[in-house]
Amino acid sequence: MIFRVRADRLVSLVLLLRQRGRLSATTLARELEVSTRTVLRDIEALSAAGVPVYAERGRRGGFALLPGFRTELTGLNHDEALALLVAGSRRGAQAFGLGSALASAMLKVVDALPESYRDTAASAVERLLIDPETDLLARRQVAEEVPDAIVAEVRRAVFAGHRLRIRYAAVGRAPQWRTVDPIGLVTVRDQGYLLATRAGEDRTYRLSRVLAAEELAEPAQRPDRVDLDRAWQDRSTRFRTGGDQVTVLARVNPARREDLVGTALAVLAEETEADGWLRLEVTFQDSRHAEWALWQLAMNAEALAPQWLRTSLRDRAAAIATRYGAAPS
């Protein structure tokens, strides 16, 4: 472990000198969070290994690399290389006008990869979609913890193009084993999803509900290429418009907003009224779901529409008032 830590530090030292030019031992020590004595020892180790680092004396002196020195990223393993490419796929680069620069930078990363990883890196990245514009649940989410072993098994099956056996706990159902053909992985607001097919039908599985996973040897039945963005949008549309879902217009105390939004399937519209309360248009799985969600907020929320929901909540409140208005039996 000690040798791995030092190796990582030496790589960081070289990258600092490449990116920022001449740096003093004090500056390097601060950046690497070590002592100046450790920096001097690391410089000696780099020189002994053939890295052309040299010292410049004087008041503005420091350490620098010979011009034109190029490091090879041969120390990257497959997952580290993949992490770099995935990190560079975020939509924020487009928003800040860095799309072309990002594409160029990613080409350089791929070019610097060990040859054994270069051929598989591009095909692996197209199996991951980070923060698409369309959110399946359209609500604020908290990060979910998924065991590393499960995620790793799912990821291996996705990249290898193998079928996957998962033990999945769907909402309101006992966990069951099922065999799927994985298509890709999507992460939305720190929640992960597996896009797959099962018996030829599209399926979307929430990774936090996968209790166990096993990569199978048989090849997955799926197309060679995939447009995850389009696939996600199509599934999101079907999810929002399918089943017995109901749309509710409600006023909510802002202090209880998360309690309502956290149970809704989607937030379609939101605005702040003059009194500070929020007017939300949200969807629920069905009428019972909608009634339960509004009822639990008591006086901190008011259903404005549909009328049947207002009537149902009124009747329930009247029944409670009647029960508690009489003396205990």
The model's confidence at residue 311, banded by pLDDT at 50, 70 and 90, is very high
Is residue 115 over pLDDT 80? no
pLDDT band, residue 6 (cuts 50/70/90): low
- Judge if pTM exceeds 0.75: no
* Nearest residue to 187 (alpha-carbon basis) of 78, 268, 86, 259: 86
For residue 266, the model assigns a pLDDT of: 83
- Region 154-158 average pLDDT: 91
- Residue 281 pLDDT greater than 90, yes or no: yes
| Average pLDDT of the residues of the chain | 79
Report which of residues 16 and 244 the model is more confident about.
16
pLDDT at 140 over 60: no
Residue 280 has pLDDT above 80, yes or no: yes
**Tokens read off for 71:** 């490091």
Close Cβ partners of 130 (under 8 Å, ≥ 6 residues apart): 86, 89, 90, 91, 187
Residue 223: per-residue pLDDT: 86
What phi and psi values does residue 45 have, to the nearest 5 degrees?
A: -65, -40
Q: What is the mean pLDDT of residues 58-78?
A: 68
At residue 33, does pLDDT exceed 70? yes
Q: Give the residue-averaged pLDDT of 84-88.
A: 55
Residue-wise pLDDT for 222-276, tens only, equals 988 888 888 888 887 776 666 678 899 999 999 999 889 888 888 899 999 999 9
- CA angle, corner 293, sides to 266 and 208, nearest 5? 55
Question: Over 80: is that where the pLDDT of 75 sits?
Answer: no
pLDDT band at 145 (very low <50, low <70, confident <90, very high): confident
pLDDT above 70 covers what percent of the chain? 71
CA distance 255 to 304: 19
For 223, phi then psi, to 5°, come to -70, 155
